[in-house]
Amino acid sequence: MKRVVVTGIGAVTPLGNSAEEFWKNAVNGMPGAAPITRFNAEKFKTRFACEVKNFDPLNWLDKAEVRKNDLFAQFALASVSEAFVNAKVDLEKINKYRVGVIWGSGNGGMQTFEDQVSEFALGDGTPRFSPYFIPKMIVNIASGVISIKYGLKGMNYTTISACATGNTALMDAFNYIRWGKVDMVVSGGSEAPVTSASIGGFGAMKALSTNNDNFQTASRPFDVSRDGFVMGEGSGAIILESYEHAMERGAPILAELAGAAMTADAYHLSATHPEGEGAARAIILALEDSGLQPTDIQYINTHSTSTPLGDLSEVKAMETVFGSTPNHLSISGTKSMTGHLLGAAGAIEAILCIEAIRHGEVPPTINTKELDPAIPVGFDIVLGKSKKKPIKAAMSNAFGFGGHNSTVIFREFVA
């Protein structure tokens, strides 16, 4: 099968609106949480989130595109625009029938849905829905508008596997390229879930942190006092290509996507398996797919959302695969900075893995002061400050409601 390489990345995140800014602020341990501005959250149990700051869609899109697209699709288009520039793609010189788009989102146009239904409910019963309602709201529309904007005519669809979505989009793109079905895939994920229904719904499940008095430090993966995740928003785009196609066009190669796998817990609607059984199998299968051994991985960007049960489930999965004293391995939970971007989480965390390999630096877990005593003392969880370290291979985990487990592995590119 063909080798698959990364040639471009783009990001719109709570830590910055470019991949470069995102990486710089992540390794510097910048907190992304702030009081919610997208709606009046005064009566909500959780009144803060990790919103994207200073995002002006007109920096990437024209007025007609902004009007026709929900925020989650605007985020997607902005990050893809940057990724294409970074990948040095000349759209006039590629075979667009051999370029696909496989994108991820969990919620899609949630704000559009809320706005339209609320306007109808508050009216006199006369249906006055916008003609853009459905195309702005449906989850697959981000992949569609990316394809339309750039004239890409390969496969085009959206993966939905809750918070595992970003990784499953990358896994599908990886497979299509290495099977020779296409030469290039635009992949990643986007999400705009800081809405009243989303915050209210996750809050009702008691999934969100309610630490309103200390919102900047509320996301604290692995900490004994963690009380739930912090909602985030944004987008991550990754240009994947076959090695041959990238070399033929003289593309910059940032890293290689080496392996990926997905499993199911078949256990619970929203909780992960308490022993991390499905997560461990996903890690093992991804390692087998990559041809790497557990000792070959130097960095794991964990899913670790800062929920009491979820973090320990992942710890148990890692312990199953890597043992309780994996001296070669460093771990960080970057949702401590970005919050949890749901379907886009895997995409932006994949970017952090790629950049960690390129720069030889592990981004930190911030806010965590006292590790849960159930975590093995031999785990190197990078706390507070980033850690300089040569990284040949990095792994990213992502898990989602419904029992979805996904793992992707990147490694340093060697011709």
Residue carrying the six token digits 């793992």 = 407
Q: Which of 245, 273, 303, 404 is catalytic?
A: 303
**pLDDT range class, residue 102, cuts 50, 70, 90:** very high
Same domain flag for 172 and 91:
yes
CA distance to 35, 223, 328, 363, per residue, from 331 (Å) = 29, 14, 10, 9
Q: Does residue 241 form part of some domain? A: yes
265 and 237 share a domain? Answer: no
Q: And the tokens for 318? A: 């890692």
What is the C-alpha to C-alpha distance for residues 258 and 337, in angstroms, rounded to an integer? 27
Residues 407 and 322 in one domain: yes
Yes or no: say if 171 and 260 are a contact pair by the CB < 8 Å rule: yes
Residues 241 and 264 occupy one common structural domain:
no
In this structure, are 162 and 244 located in the same domain?
Answer: yes
What residues contact residue 311 under an 8 Å CB cut-off, 6+ apart?
A: 221, 222, 226, 304, 305, 333, 372
Same domain for 192 and 319:
no
How far is the CA of 20 from the CAs of 27, 127, 352, in angstroms? 11, 45, 10
pLDDT of residue 293: 98
Whether residue 382 is predicted with pLDDT greater than 90 in this model: the reply is yes
Domain boundary among 248, 278, 304: 248
pLDDT at position 167 is: 98
pLDDT in tens, 206-254: 999 999 999 999 999 999 999 999 999 999 999 999 999 999 999 999 9
As a whole number of angstroms, the distance between CA 338 and CA 371 comes to: 20
How many independent structural domains does the chain possess?
2
DSSP codes, 214-226? GGGG---TTBTT-
* Claim to verify: residue 283 and residue 216 sit in the same structural domain: no
Of all residues in the chain, what percent carry a pLDDT higher than 70? 100
Catalytic residue among 163, 245, 273, 353: 163
- Identify the pLDDT of residue 143: 98
State the pLDDT at residue 11. Answer: 98
Domain stop point among 189, 213, 248:
248
Percentage of the chain beyond pLDDT 90 is: 98
Report pTM.
0.97
pLDDT of residue 271: 86
| Residue pair 230/306 in contact by the 8 Å Cβ criterion | yes
Residue 253 lies in a domain: no
For residue 254, being part of any structural domain is answered with no
- Same domain (yes/no): 222, 285: no
SS (H, E, C) 98-110: HEEEEEECCCCCH
> pLDDT for 294-318, tens place per residue?
999 999 999 999 999 999 999 999 9
| Domain boundary, last residue among 191, 219, 248 | 248
Do 238 and 350 have their domain in common?
no
CATH number for position 178: 3.40.47.10
Structural domain includes residue 20: yes
What pLDDT is attached to residue 70? 98
Q: Is the pLDDT of residue 270 over 90?
A: no
Per the residue annotation, which of 245, 273, 340, 404 is the catalytic one?
340
303 labelled catalytic: yes
Burial class (CB in 10 A: 0-12, 13-18, 19+), 38: middle
Domain extent for 200? 4-248
| pLDDT the model gives residue 257 | 98
Q: Decide if 307 is inside a domain.
A: yes
Of the pLDDT bands very low, low, confident and very high (cuts 50, 70, 90), residue 409 is very high
Residues 149 and 80 in one domain: yes
User: Is residue 285 domain-shared with residue 230, that is, in the same domain?
Assistant: no
Q: Is there a domain that residue 165 lies in?
A: yes
Q: Is residue 255 part of a domain?
A: no
Q: Same structural domain for residues 174 and 62?
A: yes
Whether the CA torsion 238, 243, 246, 250 is positive or negative: it is positive
In a domain, 202, yes or no: yes
